[in-house]
Chains A and B, each alone.
Chain A
Amino acid sequence: MADEQRTKEQAEEFHPKGTVAILVMFVLAIIILWGSVYVILLSRGVTV
């Protein structure tokens, strides 16, 4: 019972803000880089 209570408390305290911030930056970088290359592809015209 005490163990369960401790696990619950630990889970509630687990908010890895720094890691989440790094992941958000990582994802934004991927989206921006991927998106910019995609826009360049579209702007250069169709190859058949």
Chain B
Amino acid sequence: MSESPAAKPKLHVDPYEKNWMRFTIILLIVFAAAVTVAGFALGFQVPSPEERVDPNNLTGPWENPGLRELSPDIYDLYIIANSATWQFDPRDVEVPVGSTVTFYVTSTDIQHGFKLQDTNINMQIVPGQVSKLTYTFDKVGEYPYICTEYCGVGHAAMFGTLTVVEQ
């Protein structure tokens, strides 16, 4: 003999709990909407794995890392993180204000991090993979970059500076 749906006991949810669930869902929707707006309407992107490379045999632009001017105010910057020397190569970079710089960063050995202070450039650096992000520097000043992954005894020495100078 089956019970009719009407005979099932009604689940009691306290009004406080109901309101809490409603508010939590609304808050999550607002947060998700804000992230969606930033990502799709305003154009904020997370780092993308650009390509795969052989960490033991870096060729092409990686043989001579550093800044390459593609056209006025447009640059590619190739950076190698290396734990044999505990440093980023290159360690100092200078670009004119207004420059748009595309960062290509990879590692030859172990996992590192790459964080350019006061910007949204923040990437995991994985051996064999090239991480890429593009940023436009509108303000003159020094932008230190550091390793954000505890990579070993020389971790504290892994830093560099990107300097934005007047045109």
User: Does B bind A?
Assistant: yes
Q: How far, in Å, is B63 (CB) from chain A's closest CB?
A: 26
Chain A interface helix/strand/loop/mixed: helix
Q: How far, in Å, is B85 (CB) from chain A's closest CB?
A: 28
Q: Is A18 an interface residue (CB 8 A)?
A: no
Contact of A44 among B14, B23, B47, B119 (CB under 8 A): B119
Q: Is B54 an interface residue (CB 8 A)?
A: no
Q: Is A29 an interface residue (CB 8 A)?
A: no
List CB contacts (< 8 Å) of B58-110 with chain A: none
Residues of chain B with a CB closer than 8 A to A14's CB: 14
Residues of chain A with a CB closer than 8 A to B31's CB: 34
Q: How far, in Å, is A27 (CB) from chain B's closest CB?
A: 7
Pick from B2-10, B130-138, B144-152, B159-167 the stretch touching chain A: B130-138
Total CB contacts across the A-B interface at under 8 A:
46
Number of A residues near B (Cβ < 8 Å) is 16
Q: Is A23 an interface residue (CB 8 A)?
A: yes
> How far is it, in angstroms, between the C-alpha of A31 and the C-alpha of B23 when the chains are bound?
12
Q: Which of under 10, 10 to 19, 20 to 34, or 35 or more describes the interface residues of B?
A: 20 to 34
> How far is it, in angstroms, between the C-alpha of A48 and the C-alpha of B108 when the chains are bound?
25
> How far is it, in angstroms, between the C-alpha of A38 and the C-alpha of B39 when the chains are bound?
12
Proximity bits, A26-48, B CB within 8 Å = 1, else 0: 01001100100010011011111
Residues of chain A with a CB closer than 8 A to B120's CB: 41, 44-47
* Contact across chains for A38 and B34 when beta carbons are under 8 A apart: yes
* Contact across chains for B45 and A45 when beta carbons are under 8 A apart: no
| A–B pairs, 17, beta carbons within 8 Å | A14-B14, A16-B16, A27-B23, A31-B27, A38-B34, A42-B42, A44-B119, A44-B120, A45-B119, A45-B135, A46-B42, A46-B45, A46-B120, A47-B119, A47-B121, A48-B43, A48-B45
Binding site for A on B (CB under 8 A): 14, 16, 20, 23, 27, 31, 34, 38, 42-47, 118-121, 133-136, 138
